[in-house]
Amino acid sequence: MGLAIAHELASRGRAVTVLSRRRSEAAGFVAAGMLAPHAEGLTGPLLDLGQRSLERIPAWVARIEADSGLACGLRPTGIVVPFRSPAERDAYPTAAFGQPLDRRGLEREIPGIGADWQAALLFAQDGQIDNRRRLMRALERACVGLGVAFQEGAEVLALRRDGAGELSGVELRTAEGEQQRLACRQAVLACGAWSAQLLPELPLFPVKGQMLSLQGPRQALQRVVFGPGTYLVPREDGLLVVGATSEPQAGFREGLTPDGQSTLQKGIAALVPAASGWPPMERWWGFRPCTPDEGPLLGASSVPGLWLATGHHRNGVLLAAITAELLGGCLAEQGGPQAAAAIPGNTSGKGSEGLSPAERAHVLEAFRWDRFQHADPGHQASDGQPQPAAQLPAPWGGAPA
């Protein structure tokens, strides 16, 4: 998010500084890169946001590639969601957007699919991007080419306000341990799972995920397989990215666990048994930034001048394009073309003008940071399970790591 928004603002002629504590923490380096609003079974405003972003991604990627000279690894592979019965398939929230498959059709799309799966949905419009190896590097280079300044190893310690309560700057500690104050009147908080440490009222907490990759034969899988609890994302060179555990109680506890890795191996065996024999290449973990309804926090914050682009949970790569457009539009309305904008974040061209100010405001309304203050105590997450706010980690997962 930090890089995508920095690229957008710089393309609009803004002076931008990206503050990053440790770049490798960014969820953008960890995620599998699925572009899957339909395969994820999203609903309501989140589905609409995902569809809007999916439409923009080809043009967004083309701009990044043009500015960086690097390929981003965008692939319209389509995504197959398998089910144990046609009834489960037909009840899926986004079934109307997919092509229904029987067992024969499923075997045609996913050779070697496990025997338990008897039906599926093919979402040909969904796809993937190689975020871990390509997109993030291309974004970094594109930002540098547009004059974005970087302060790597700079940890933002606090936000500063003037006498009227508006943002006046940030306190930070440099990589050399020096404490400094950086003046700015506009900033975007894009710190992912750590965002509530700077703004404790944000209803945001980390959900740890473990992943691994296998080296399979080239072209062994042509489609992404999105199973319950496990997904398989085949790259063009045969690398298979496997994810991901979901561990909301882990907090910011780092490291791999035997239980997590075992869960992934069982998922591989259930989906494509032959892949269990492919050699492992890498294992890693990261932290999703999650909110009570699993939707992002976008737009204005409680601090005038501070904007939010966080809480994207499982769909950060998918939602980067629309988030950059929305936040770019917001900041363009608030200041002149050379106003400074600091981007406190873990780092994870000219923007699309597709949304009018009124449309942008309408989209952002569903993702206000304070929307939960007036919600019912028991609300529904995207998986349909009630998640009362009282059961969330206190205070909203914002305790210092």
357 in a domain, yes or no?
Answer: yes
pLDDT tens, residue by residue, 122-162: 999 999 999 999 999 999 999 999 999 999 999 999 999 99
Do 31 and 136 lie in one domain? The reply is yes
In angstroms, how far is CA 243 from the centroid of its own chain?
A: 14
How many structural domains does the chain have? 2
Do 298 and 319 lie in one domain? The reply is yes
Last residue of a domain, one of 255, 288, 321: 288
Do 181 and 212 lie in one domain? The reply is no
Give residues with Cβ within 8 angstroms of 203, minimum separation 6: 196, 291, 292, 297, 369, 372, 389, 392, 396
Do 159 and 266 lie in one domain? The reply is no
396 in a domain, yes or no?
Answer: no
Residue 295 clears pLDDT 90, i.e. is over it: yes
Mean pLDDT of 230-247: 97
pLDDT band at 393 (very low <50, low <70, confident <90, very high): very low
pLDDT tens, residue by residue, 249-280: 999 999 999 999 999 999 999 999 999 999 99
Residue 394 clears pLDDT 90, i.e. is over it: no
In this predicted structure, what is the pLDDT of residue 373? 85
Do 6 and 43 lie in one domain? The reply is yes
Mean pLDDT of 1-10: 97
227 in a domain, yes or no?
Answer: yes
Last residue of a domain, one of 237, 253, 288: 288
155 in a domain, yes or no?
Answer: yes
Do 256 and 344 lie in one domain? The reply is no
80 in a domain, yes or no?
Answer: no
Residue 213 clears pLDDT 80, i.e. is over it: yes
Strand-pairing partners, residue 102, are 119
pTM, two decimals, is: 0.90
The Cα 220–Cα 240 span in angstroms is 10
Do 170 and 196 lie in one domain? The reply is yes
Residue 211 clears pLDDT 80, i.e. is over it: yes
Specify the CATH number for the domain of residue 232. 3.30.9.10
For 267, the domain range is: 205-288
List, in sequence order, every beta strand (DSSP E) within 339-384: 340-344
For 303, other C-beta atoms within 10 Å of its C-beta total 19
In this predicted structure, what is the pLDDT of residue 343? 55
104 in a domain, yes or no?
Answer: no
Residue 383 clears pLDDT 80, i.e. is over it: no
In this predicted structure, what is the pLDDT of residue 334? 79
Give residues with Cβ within 8 angstroms of 251, minimum separation 6: 206, 208, 393, 397, 399, 401
Do 269 and 324 lie in one domain? The reply is no
Residue 235 clears pLDDT 60, i.e. is over it: yes
In this predicted structure, what is the pLDDT of residue 103? 98
CA distances 279 to 149, 152, 274, Å, are 40, 34, 11
In this predicted structure, what is the pLDDT of residue 333? 85
Do 341 and 246 lie in one domain? The reply is no
Specify the CATH number for the domain of residue 300. 3.50.50.60
Last residue of a domain, one of 288, 318, 333: 288
In this predicted structure, what is the pLDDT of residue 377? 42
107 in a domain, yes or no?
Answer: no
Range with lowest mean pLDDT among 15-29, 69-83, 274-288, 383-397? 383-397
Do 178 and 222 lie in one domain? The reply is no
Do 192 and 218 lie in one domain? The reply is no
Do 366 and 312 lie in one domain? The reply is yes
In this predicted structure, what is the pLDDT of residue 374? 64
In this predicted structure, what is the pLDDT of residue 68? 98
114 in a domain, yes or no?
Answer: no
pLDDT tens, residue by residue, 48-107: 999 999 999 999 999 999 999 999 999 999 999 999 999 999 999 999 999 999 999 999
